[in-house]
Amino acid sequence: MGHLGTLDPFAEGVLPLFLGKMTKLIPHLNLSDKTYRATAVFGKKSTTLDRDGVITNVKLPKNIDSQMVEKALLGFLGTQDQVPPAYSAVKFKGKPLYKYARQNKTVTVAAKKITVYRIFDIKCEMPVVTFSLHCSAGTYIRKIAEDLAEKLGTGAYLNELVRMGCGEFFTLGNAIKLDQIENMDKIRIQEELINPRDILSDYHVLQLAKSDIQERVQHGSGVDVSEDLIEFRHPSRIGGHTLALDQEDQLIAVGVLEFSQGSFLFKPTKVLI
């Protein structure tokens, strides 16, 4: 089993899971952007930047109002450098940063480029601020809350964090709660599995009509294919990513289409069976 992006221990929300050979599809999706709903408490600091850490009180200026908070928050829009929190899964010399932090060791890691596309639904009732944020993968919302508080001359930690969406496809609307999965039988769980064709909706679809051609694809060989077997799903008819299906409509490979000497050539890049 594989997944698209870890969640902090205190957080909840969308976590796309890939089973079996479908884990090979993860590189095609792990650059997806994320949407979060966060609640920060001001006037306090946490060693982990969230409610699971050791929390201490700090001065909270009385003049902070909703306009100041909104202006400071919107200042995070765009591309910027972000230093990962000490308590994070980012690795230094092969070991996650949180392991160094738990041993009271300080390490210096390089900042990473992140992009904040949108900040919306800001609600300020000091000392609590709630906001939604659409950002690139790898963005630490805990760090944004801390940096926001520093702009306002105080401290803050995240009390709640919900991942509302992962890319365009995975949202709370089509997610299943863990307790629901635990109470499902095997048949019901299988019914909830998502067809990769629905996720990779901009990939061409190639229907492999003959077993000998299918066998060559399974061995990683390129094959000549007839145009009438291809469902073109975006304007670029050649060079585009393509899903290859067997005679039972099961995904068996991902590859690229090439056009040469009047015919199409499918070259598998990942075989999934």
Whether residue 8 lies in the annotated active site: yes
Token code pair at residue 189: 């769980």
Q: How many CB atoms lie within 10 A of CB 162?
A: 16
Which residue in 8, 33, 121, 185 is the catalytic one?
A: 8
Intra-chain end-to-end CA distance of the chain, in Å: 15
Calculate the CA 106 to chain-centre distance: 28
231 neighbors 249 (Cβ within 8 angstroms): no
Identify the residue whose tokens are 């000490």: 86
The H or E element spanning position 206 is strand 204-207
Max intra-chain CA distance, the chain = 75
The H or E element spanning position 231 is strand 230-231
* Apex 106 CA angle, 103 and 48, nearest 5: 70
**Dist CA 114 CA 109 (whole Å):** 15
Residues involved in catalysis: 8
